[in-house]
Chains A and B, each alone.
Chain A
Amino acid sequence: MDTLRYTLRKLLYSVPLILGVTLLSFTLMVYFGPDMAYEKLGKNATEEDIEREREKLGYNKPFVVRYGNFLTSVLTFDFGESFSTNQRVMDMFAETIPVSIMVALPGFILGNLISIIFGLWAAYHRGQRLDKTIMAGAVVGMSISFLIVVIVFQLLLCSDYGLNMFPTTGWEVGMNLEEFNILDYFEYVTVPAICTIFVSVGYNTRFYRAVFVEELTRDHVRTAKAFGCGPVRLLFKHVLKNSLIPILTRIILSLPFVIIGGSIIIESYFGIPGVGSVVYDAIVNGDQPITKAAVVCTAILYVFFLTLTDILYQVVDPRISLK
């Protein structure tokens, strides 16, 4: 009951944030956005046609009214139809988001796990050679552009110039239970997952190591050591649990970006029909209803996850109570 009330209150607090994001995206994408009348009617429309279309689109109305209309469309999750495919945007999202999650999740989870282990390991050996090696590796990883990673791994693993072990592009994986085949899935997800891991491990390891190093300097760690605690238990019981708040925050708050368009590059480059590809096309073609929807949906998810972290904090840390 308490948790419910707390959650509701937190969600209430997030209303200004949602309003802010919608205002921002409205101003940038609709108010200052391109004139849709031209785009819709094509090159050889008459002056009157355009004028009528603009009237219909509500371009002549004042800012507040137009923003109100925009808000209504947000609240009803009705972002209209895509300019290029004429499909309903929300239908397109519903179709492609599951694919994106399946593409992104393995790399995301493994990337974080690997980084946490590296981070613990490096932090425990802080200042020693092992730490320096791991951190040097992290800097190298951080210095390579995502696009380069994608190009190189595709070349090495998916082409005749390299090992040619995986399909170059595409996503021929059944998306419902009967058609789903785990081997197909592995075949298509491996290279994207490797790319995701490669680009994220550098940043994540640095972040996690800093968190763990900080925790390792705390008094209670010294106490644990003074009572004979070994390194494995020390790291995985005492240090890890105490550092869960920054770790969870980082992981959970990056989820919205992973779910919606987080893998724009991977999906477009590997030709995977996920929401990232849809967003990529929308950006390249200036397909406004889609970009608008992506921004707003991510923001809403973000705010939702933000509330979730707040609630998780209490589970993780007994000192934080429902206040």
Chain B
Amino acid sequence: MTNEQNKQETIKKETLWTKAVRKFFRDKMGVISFSIVCLYALIALGVACGFWATEWSELNPDMKNTGPSADFWLGTNILGQDIYQRAIFSTKTAFEVGLVVALVATMLGAIVGCLSGYFSGTWIDEFFLWIIGCIDCIPFYLFVAAVGFAVNTLAQNLNASFGIEGFEYFAMHIAMIATFWTATARLVRGEVIKIKHLEFVEAAHAIGVPGPKIIFKHILPNTFHILLVQATIAFVSAIKSEVILSYLGLGVKNTVSWGKMIAEATQEVPAGIYSNFFAASAFLFVLVMAFNIFADALQDALDPKKVS
């Protein structure tokens, strides 16, 4: 009986997914933006593998603040570093921050949302809602700052007691994850409460499938379309927030990012030096824009009820 049901369910899901894919590929803007995102991903992958932008941190003391040239396509910064290479290298940083934050925050949100929704009406739900409520009423940048401080202390302790190094590198990631997961959790919770009363879940209950199995085998997969969209949104938010955090001095450490370049540029632009600013802004804008359009197209394709 469960087998039968599972089969039916998979058939239903397959058609949903194939339909979504078909719908997505009919959306011209969606496909274009997806290609752009893929292109960026390739660049980032190339950086990670050491194919290009390997000299991003090299100093050229006699080439400070120069304009574009054959050697330095977008000129050099105040330390004589190649801005083009730095911008390319930052693609990797952006993807790393975006992916880590998006994946972990969405996963955390999914798990909490599922538990909260499944146990809605009990103290478990109340407890999670309370935590979500608390996080939501703390200003984002201050929360990030607070988490940043705490993580730094923790990193020092870790270093002192266990010799683990470099944990503070993740201060910003952790801070973002700590704030971003709540949106997903709320959405998933709502969806789970809806799904909970559907036939196949109640049937699973009736034949005695244990709770956790119901949650993770039957309910969670049905919220996947929400998770996918939420992950893209978290990705965009992460790389956008990174800019502001860099400006506040809370950004990534020991590497370069578009945010850091723009933060540097806040000193340079009033003096009429634009290379850093334009390079980073253009790279950032195109990726964020493509990702936004991609997220929209994804949402259109996945959500049959969405009014667009």
State the CA gap A269–B243 with chains docked (Å): 14
Using Cβ atoms and an 8 Å threshold, which residues of chain A touch B152? 34
Interface: A11 (CB within 8 A): no
Which of A95-103, A260-268, A314-322 sits within the interface?
Answer: A260-268
Which among B139, B263, B266, B285 has the greatest number of chain A C-beta atoms within 10 A?
B139
B139-A298 in contact (CB<8A): yes
Within 8 A of B (CB), among A1-48: 16-17, 20-21, 23-25, 27-29, 32-34
Which of B97-105, B127-135, B205-213 sits within the interface?
Answer: B127-135
Which of B83-91, B111-119, B214-222, B245-253 sits within the interface?
Answer: B245-253
Nearest B residue to A302 via CB reads B137
A139-B293 in contact (CB<8A): yes
A28-B244 in contact (CB<8A): no
A32-B149 in contact (CB<8A): yes
| One of A265, A280, A299 near B137 (C-beta < 8 A) | A299
B147-A28 in contact (CB<8A): yes
Given contacts A17-B130, A28-B150, A151-B269, contact A261 B262 (CB under 8 A): no
B150-A32 in contact (CB<8A): yes
State the CA gap A29–B147 with chains docked (Å): 8
A147-B263 in contact (CB<8A): yes
Nearest B residue to A214 via CB reads B307
B137-A21 in contact (CB<8A): yes
Main secondary structure of the interface of A (DSSP, over half): helix
Given contacts A264-B248, A283-B248, contact A139 B289 (CB under 8 A): yes
State the CA gap A145–B141 with chains docked (Å): 15
Interface: A244 (CB within 8 A): no
- B181 → A minimal CB distance (Å): 14
Interface: A217 (CB within 8 A): yes
1/0 contact trace for A271-291 toward B, CB 8 Å? 000000001100110101001
Within 8 A of A (CB), among B193-238: none
State the CA gap A298–B131 with chains docked (Å): 16
Nearest A residue to B175 via CB reads A28
Nearest A residue to B134 via CB reads A20
1/0 contact trace for A142-155 toward B, CB 8 Å? 11111110010011
Given contacts A33-B149, A144-B285, A151-B277, contact A294 B139 (CB under 8 A): yes
Interface: B270 (CB within 8 A): yes
1/0 contact trace for B276-308 toward A, CB 8 Å? 010001001100110011001000000000011
Question: Could you jot down 19 A-B contacts, CB within 8 Å?
Answer: A17-B137, A20-B134, A24-B135, A24-B138, A25-B146, A29-B149, A29-B150, A32-B153, A143-B289, A145-B243, A145-B284, A147-B263, A148-B281, A151-B262, A257-B139, A279-B142, A283-B248, A284-B249, A306-B137
Complex A-B, nearest 8 residue pairs according to Cβ-Cβ distance, in ascending order: A20-B134, A302-B137, A32-B150, A143-B289, A28-B146, A143-B288, A28-B150, A283-B145
Extra contacts, 5 of them, besides A126-B307, A159-B270, A260-B139 (Cβ < 8 A), are A127-B308, A145-B240, A155-B270, A213-B307, A217-B307
Residues of B within 8 A of A (CB): 130-131, 133-135, 137-139, 141-143, 145-147, 149-150, 152-154, 240, 243-244, 247-250, 259, 262-263, 265-266, 269-270, 272, 277, 281, 284-285, 288-289, 292-293, 296, 307-308
